[in-house]
Amino acid sequence: MSSTNSRPAELPGKSPEDSAVIMTEIVLPSDTNALGTIFGGKVMSWIDIAGAISATRHARRAVVTASIDALHFLAPIRLGHFVHIRATVNYVSRTSMEVGVRVDSENPLTGEFTHTATAYTTFVALDDHGRPTPVPSLLLKTPNEKRRYIAAQKRRQSRVLLSEEIKKAEKSQSEDSDS
Ligand SMILES: CC(C)(COP(=O)(O)OP(=O)(O)OC[C@H]1O[C@@H](n2cnc3c(N)ncnc32)[C@H](O)[C@@H]1OP(=O)(O)O)[C@@H](O)C(=O)NCCC(=O)NCCS
């Protein structure tokens, strides 16, 4: 199974494994709030970095963050705990890639892992002139990769639909105020 959007033949497909990223960080005092837990913005920054590295590895092009879907923090992360950030390309279209990023924390003394956040990020590859450029297709082998691809495809359809509906609503609003 691979994505089917048109792209130059000289771009061979790649598997999600080829571009997967695993980062480990530690929560430092400067990363925490008055409660001794991490700032959400710090986690968002790690998510963006891990996602960008994964997308760049897939495209071997400069990439920009186009969007980050709703991000829910499921549990706080305390000072001194380890943070594991894993990023994998879930889906590619012509020039954009959805990268799923999962964040887990690890208690350094007990080894207990806690799922902290999951985010779906979209990156767009750019050519030397800063314009969106085609990316390699995604070669899917495992059932998990195929499941993630189908879920990501649904999310993309929802994003496109929502964006079209907003444009339509804005157009009709501006026509109403002109008349
Ligand atoms: C993302 C960006 C390159 C898209 O440029 P554009 O001129 O709108 O390009 P297009 O309309 O041709 O879309 C290009 C691709 O981006 C995707 N895209 C555009 N906006 C998107 C969004 N908000 N969310 C997800 N994907 C998006 C399109 O679906 C398309 O994907 P496809 O080729 O795989 O089908 C442009 O909006 C940009 O540069 N944004 C700023 C990015 C940035 O600076 N990020 C850092 C944080 S500020």
Centre of ligand 1 from the C-alpha of residue 96, in Å: 7
Pocket test for ligand 1, best of 3, 6, 90, 96 (most atoms within 8 A of CB): 96
pLDDT at res. 174: 85
In this structure, the residues whose C-beta lies within 6 A of any atom of ligand 1 are 64-67, 93-96, 122, 124, 132, 159
Centre of ligand 1 from the C-alpha of residue 5, in Å: 16
- Domain 16-178 classification at class level: alpha beta
Q: What mean pLDDT value characterizes the chain?
A: 94
pLDDT at res. 81: 98
* Predicted TM-score (pTM) of this structure: 0.92
* Residues of the chain above pLDDT 70, percent: 96
Centre of ligand 1 from the C-alpha of residue 77, in Å: 32
pLDDT digits (tens, 9 = 90+) for 95-113: 999 999 999 999 999 999 9
Per-residue tokens: 170? 């804005």
